[in-house]
């Protein structure tokens, strides 16, 4: 929780905008990545730095459990369940094949331990126990998963189960997984700390089954999540996020790597590490404006205030090829004239960022403060001024 930046906590306000792509002419060449598809996202800047086949359908394997966790965290946030509440282990959960936490029907397991079992052991038994505890039945929980995918904008995802075992039609894409992973970190900062746990086992279960399969948690101290997955059909998959200190960025700079269909457990870790290291060295993160700092203060008509402050509630950061920050140019695109009223956080314009003449990013700008409509005389006077203008 304490490792997430303020910028990440506010990310949902502009993640609904499309990914901002650096112009091909300016893009550093990414390393060779041995995977069916991959993606590297600068979460702090909300920019896609590298990609391959990110809209191709793939089997998510245990990366499915990110959505299962999303629904569990949402139920915790809504106080429908609690971390200390115990849940029964049904015969269905107990008999789940594949990765397991090794719980059985004689147990009543606290929700927090089931969450750790889902994340650290990638336990299919823990996942089903949580699905039944939150959704009543596995089938209803899967329905909730698909509904949530639509809400998040995961347009090419279809869930058939909560744990990720191979099933016809159980597919997603690298792009959709990046949306899910980013929203998970943003929406539930108090719970994503579980993804950094290196070792855990429930009392009475095998001591050999205690190690997180995310090898980068043990190799790279800046890595703090998120999830691995593997089936014969999916290959070896991995979603990794890291946060490293960076000049002029309070709270650090967060990157997210997704590698799907690697050849082995070690290969997915190596390829993910390769992408992260390349992203941090090939690109500079440049802060253009602080949180709540106006990027523009244009005139307002028919309002109680004469100007409108446009900016972001979080710092505006862009990623550019290393050494090219001096070439950044910005331009604000907005409606004209601006006629009150405006509500706080209402999107009003766009900050267009270019590198030389090449587009880098487009960042939605919102009203940092509300501007109420003026009285009858004020509106009438501005109406005359607008007509003359």
CA angle (111 as vertex; 108, 116 as ends), nearest 5: 110
Q: What's the rounded Cα separation, in Å, for the pair 68 and 361?
A: 32
Determine whether 122 is an active site residue. Answer: yes
Instruction: List the strands of the sheet with 235-246, edge to edge.
Output: 20-21, 47-52, 37-42, 249-262, 235-246, 223-231
Q: 259 near 86, Cβ under 8 Å?
A: no
- The distance in angstroms from the start CA to the end CA of the chain is 53
Give the count of alpha carbons within 13 A of 380, CB side only. Answer: 3
- Long-range CB contact pairs, 279-283, < 8 A, 24+: 279/40, 279/42, 279/49, 279/50, 279/255, 280/244, 280/253, 280/255, 281/322, 282/28, 282/30, 282/49, 282/321, 282/322, 283/28, 283/42, 283/49, 283/319, 283/320, 283/321, 283/322
The number of CA neighbours under 13 Å toward the Cβ of 305 is 16
Among 5, 37, 62, 90, the active-site one is: 62
221: Cβ contacts below 8 Å, ≥ 6 apart: none
Selection from 277, 246, 268, 235 nearest residue 30 by Cα: 277
Q: How many other β-carbons are positioned within 10 Å of the β-carbon of residue 312?
A: 26
Active site residue 319: no
Q: Which one is catalytic: 5, 68, 99, 122?
A: 122
Task: Give the contacts of 375 (CB within 8 A, at least 6 positions apart).
Answer: none
Q: Which residue has the tokens 């359908």?
A: 57
For residue 61, give the nearest of 142, 131, 160, 129 by alpha carbon.
Answer: 160
Task: Tell me, yes or no, if 65 is annotated catalytic.
Answer: yes
Catalytic one of 5, 65, 116, 178:
65
Instruction: Enumerate the active-site residues.
Output: 62, 65, 122
């Amino acid at each position: 929780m304490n490792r997430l930046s303020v910028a990440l906590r506010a990310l949902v306000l502009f993640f609904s905008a499309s990914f901002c792509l650096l112009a091909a002419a300016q893009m550093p060449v990414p390393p060779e990545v041995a995977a069916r598809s991959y993606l590297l996202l600068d979460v702090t800047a909300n920019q896609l730095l590298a990609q391959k086949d990110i809209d191709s359908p793939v089997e998510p394997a245990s990366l499915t459990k990110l959505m299962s966790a999303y629904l569990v965290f949402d139920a915790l946030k809504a106080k429908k369940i609690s971390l200390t509440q115990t849940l029964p282990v049904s015969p269905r959960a107990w008999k789940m094949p594949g990765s397991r936490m090794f719980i059985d029907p004689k147990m009543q397991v606290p929700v927090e331990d089931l969450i750790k079992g889902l994340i650290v052991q990638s336990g299919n038994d823990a996942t089903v126990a949580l699905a039944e505890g939150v959704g009543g039945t596995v089938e209803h929980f899967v329905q909730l998963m698909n509904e949530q995918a639509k809400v998040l904008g995961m347009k090419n995802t279809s869930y058939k189960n909560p744990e990720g075992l191979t099933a016809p039609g159980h597919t997603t894409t690298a792009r959709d997984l990046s949306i899910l992973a980013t929203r998970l970190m943003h929406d539930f900062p108090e719970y994503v700390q579980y993804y950094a746990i290196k070792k855990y086992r429930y009392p009475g279960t095998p001591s050999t089954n205690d190690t997180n399969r995310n090898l980068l948690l043990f190799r790279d101290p800046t890595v703090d999540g998120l999830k691995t997955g593997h089936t014969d059909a999916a290959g070896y998959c991995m979603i990794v996020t890291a946060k490293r200190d960076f000049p002029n960025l309070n709270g650090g700079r967060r990157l997210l790597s997704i590698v799907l269909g690697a050849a082995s457990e070690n290969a997915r870790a190596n390829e993910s590490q390769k992408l992260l290291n390349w992203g941090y060295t090939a690109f500079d993160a440049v802060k253009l404006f602080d949180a709540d700092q106006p990027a523009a203060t244009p005139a307002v008509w028919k309002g109680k205030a004469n100007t409108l402050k446009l900016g972001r509630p979080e710092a505006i950061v862009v990623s550019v090829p290393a050494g090219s920050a001096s070439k950044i140019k910005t331009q604000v695109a907005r409606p004209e004239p601006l006629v009150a009223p405006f509500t706080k956080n209402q999107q009003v314009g766009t900050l267009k960022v270019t590198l030389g003449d090449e587009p880098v990013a487009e960042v939605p700008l919102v009203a940092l403060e509300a501007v109420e409509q003026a009285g009858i005389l004020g509106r009438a006077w501005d109406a005359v001024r607008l007509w003359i203008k």
